[in-house]
Structure 1
């Protein structure tokens, strides 16, 4: 009787499951910067998940993979080789709002390389995680249209990456960073991160990242950084500093430039600000990343002296900020910003 009931339920579900490709009703496929990025509190695994997924979630996925490997062939040596954001996040809006994300984990299990899908589904007060070997979840994809749709989006992204059309921004944030601001509009997107205990207004250090739509005319990065220097000069009464071109890191990206901004005393405050700012002309966005510090206000010479160590730290951080393609070189892209 139970079997007959199950068969009847599947038959009745037939019309609902007939749509086996294409967008979901009312779906939102997110763009870079549209969803606030939450940095990992601890890196347990390499790649995307180690940089942008909480340690408890990383551990949970790995435990599921180890359990699955034990069913295939008992193996006590399961090592994660890489993790990637396989598809842009997907948000269902009907009948209720549910946020879906898909990662792809590559593992070495006793010398055998296998890939696993980790599908997260987040809704208010409820979340779930499904882990399955990549390419073996066809039945699950039929039962769960969001998973099916994520796999479609992952296939598109994989093709684009293989052709070099997708460029990720490697952003290896300091370990204690927390997001304090996030904005997205047709004019671009931005996200700010500060150390734990700081806030959007009261911060001691800050990492800011922006994505601005690319212009067809050349020189966008230089014009923006020179404009920042001019604005700082007017506001703080200091001479504008130079904007330096950096060596090209890959042939498919545009110019990469950097500048050093100092304000001995921010007007109406008792502190100085310094920042090293890097601008990278990507194929889709002009990426602007700054590493900033606040210091006690003083004359320009003393602030320059006091900011030597922060400046070196900022330059070392920005040296790791680059456009990369994890499909081609995972070593150059250990912390790809979610997109």
Structure 2
């Protein structure tokens, strides 16, 4: 079985020898005061199984956002044709639908023609989820065609956003993105397996084997 990657809010990424990648939860630091109660541990986490051989090659940490970028074997942040972005946004007001709407607006600005699918909304493991795909016929600056599939999960502690992205030759407005069916099938299965869980909350159980 492939290793799980477990992301929890606002903590560093660890890659132990057992190939289990985790972002351990760390409560935000509060101003010290005598007799103040310690901050509660954040137990909510994002769980996903990355494709075999993919490696983290890009990291970004902001005040409330952690972003990790992963690439297939033999590809880099400069040469990639396929990549994955994982974001943990520790903002209680960040909505999944609003984030996805931002992707639609960005594609319309940056692409000669963009083709967003209808936004799908529902629940996964008791958490609100929004999903979307967007095609880009040709980037105005890059000249590349593109396709992105997005899954945004609104957890209690954070908004979790996973994007699978392809870039390649430009294509026509009325043409499909030139992506193999096998890649789209793999993307679909991968995104279905992405979830948020909380071992402290029976309403949001974690998969067996999740640390």
> d(CA) in 1 for partners of 2:166 and 2:141?
17
Match in the other structure for 1:66: none
Match in the other structure for 2:151: 278
Match of 2:12 among 30, 35, 49: 35
Runs of 4+ in structure 1 off by over 3 angstroms are 31-34, 36-40, 300-309, 325-330, 333-336
CA gap 1:334/1:276 in 2 versus in 1, 3 angstroms: farther
Once the two structures are superposed, what CA deviation does each residue of 1:263-312 show, in whole Å capped at 9, x if it has no partner? 12223435321111000001111001011122322213433363644333
RCO comparison, higher one (Cα < 8 Å, 6+): 2
Q: What is the correspondence of 1:109-148 to structure 2 with a 5 Å cutoff?
A: none
**Displacement of 1:235 after TM fit?**
1.6
Question: Which consecutive residues of structure 1, in runs of 5 or more, have no partner in the other structure?
Answer: 1-30, 41-48, 54-84, 90-155
**Displacement of 1:37 after TM fit?**
4.6
Match in the other structure for 1:177: 54
RMSD: 3.2
More deviation, 229-238/307-316: 307-316
Q: Are residue 245 (structure 1) and residue 118 (structure 2) matched?
A: no
SS at 1:256's partner residue? strand
Match in the other structure for 1:226: 101
> d(CA) in 2 for partners of 1:311 and 1:249?
21
CA contact (8 A) 2:150 2:163 kept: yes
More deviation, 314-323/228-237: 228-237
> d(CA) in 1 for partners of 2:16 and 2:119?
30
Question: Which consecutive residues of structure 2, in runs of 5 or more, have no partner in the other structure?
Answer: 1-7, 27-37
> Structure 2 length as normaliser, TM-score?
0.74
Q: Are residue 205 (structure 1) and residue 114 (structure 2) matched?
A: no
> d(CA) in 2 for partners of 1:209 and 1:223?
17
CA contact (8 A) 1:214 1:283 kept: no
**Displacement of 1:38 after TM fit?**
3.9
SS at 1:261's partner residue? strand
SS at 2:156's partner residue? coil
Once the two structures are superposed, what CA deviation does each residue of 1:142-179 show, in whole Å capped at 9, x if it has no partner? xxxxxxxxxxxxxx9xx96xxxx622211211111111
> d(CA) in 2 for partners of 1:284 and 1:326?
13
CA gap 1:284/1:302 in 2 versus in 1, 3 angstroms: same
Once the two structures are superposed, what CA deviation does each residue of 1:188-243 show, in whole Å capped at 9, x if it has no partner? 11110101221112212111111113334xx8110110111121022212244321
CA contact (8 A) 1:34 1:184 kept: no
How many residues are aligned here?
189
SS at 1:180's partner residue? strand
SS at 1:222's partner residue? helix
CA contact (8 A) 2:92 2:157 kept: no
Match in the other structure for 2:31: none
> d(CA) in 2 for partners of 1:234 and 1:197?
31
> d(CA) in 1 for partners of 2:56 and 2:75?
10
Greater helix share, structure number:
1
Match in the other structure for 2:5: none
> d(CA) in 1 for partners of 2:16 and 2:166?
20
Match in the other structure for 1:193: 70
